[in-house]
Amino acid sequence: MKLSAPIYILKQQAKALSRQEKVRLNVALDRIATREGYIAWSHLASSWQRQDTGSLVYRQLQPGDLILVGARPGHGKTLLGLGLAVEAMAHGNRAALFTLEDTTATVEQRFDMLGKDMGAVRDRFLLDTSEDISPRHIAERLAAAPPRTLVVIDYLQLLDQRRDKPALDVQVRELKACAEGRQAMVVCLSQISRDYAPAGSPYPGLQDVRLPNPVDLALFSKACFLHGGKMQLLVGSWSKPGDGPA
């Protein structure tokens, strides 16, 4: 069933409806889903997820990968990160989210948007909202994690905010070493510069990644950029293997 707008737009509409009607977000989401011809938001999300970028991108990942996911706010990078975590768990692997941005309640809401119950996967999913998040902290929390664990870091630029932490380039190198050493797949969500203009390019690119301090972006083995409900995936030499819906 074709949606009237990209799913990230529908989510924004639900948030606006929630504020306007003073109803819970899950109620607003269900109303939007009903309008789109689905029984409930979970039904819509489950149907969408079968063809979403989560499964498309996950198929491209390998143990040891360090992946960059970049988008402007509201274009789906956090949901893609969680979608990758859900996909990893669906394949029998573990997943983790280290977030300096969201609360546990917000993450639970995002799982609901994907039609998933975070409580049902607690034995396979690690959520860390600590202020101490850094590559060293992440490595310590993953000490017992098996290979092919999918790790999402939300988000790259926030790692650079504390003066007691190493330079961002050093931290990215530590994350790459962690991914390779533990044979994990580490996904770094990233902000995109406000200067990015869709009129010039339909997708942001490496040149549009907002970097408060220099980082060697060649450290990332893959990069995924989202905009306007679509996605571009870059692999290795930053050639483009294909596009997909977001």
Structure tokens at 70: 């970049």
Amino acid 242: pLDDT: 46
What's the confidence (pLDDT) of residue 82? 93
Residue 184 covered by a domain = yes
pLDDT at position 50 is 47
Within 8 A by CB and 6+ apart from 71, the residues are 77, 80, 192, 204, 225, 226, 227
In this structure, is the dihedral angle defined by the CA atoms of residues 23, 26, 30 and 33, taken in order, positive or negative?
positive
Low-confidence ranges of the chain (pLDDT < 70): 1-2, 6, 46-52, 236-246
Domain span holding position 92: 59-245
Q: What is the pLDDT of residue 38?
A: 86
Query: Residue 214 falls within a domain, yes or no?
Result: yes
Which pLDDT score is estimated for 49? 54
Cα 176 to Cα 169: distance, rounded to the nearest angstrom: 11
Residue 155 and residue 69: Cα distance in Å, rounded?
10
Same domain, 41 and 151: no
Number of domains comprising the chain = 2
pLDDT attached to residue 97:
98
Q: What is the pLDDT of residue 106?
A: 93
Residue 78 sits in the same domain as residue 115: yes
185 plus 87 within the same structural domain: yes
For residues 37 and 154, membership in a common domain is answered with: no
Per the domain annotation, does 69 fall within a domain? yes
Quote the CA–CA distance of 220 and 107 in Å, as a whole number. 25
For the record, the structure tokens of 66 come out as 């360090």
One domain for residues 69 and 38 = no
Give pLDDT tens digits for 127-171. Answer: 999 999 999 999 999 999 999 999 999 999 999 988 889 999 999
In angstroms, the Cα distances linking 149 to 65, 94, 121, 122, 208 are 11, 5, 14, 14, 29
Co-location of 27 and 87 in the same domain: no
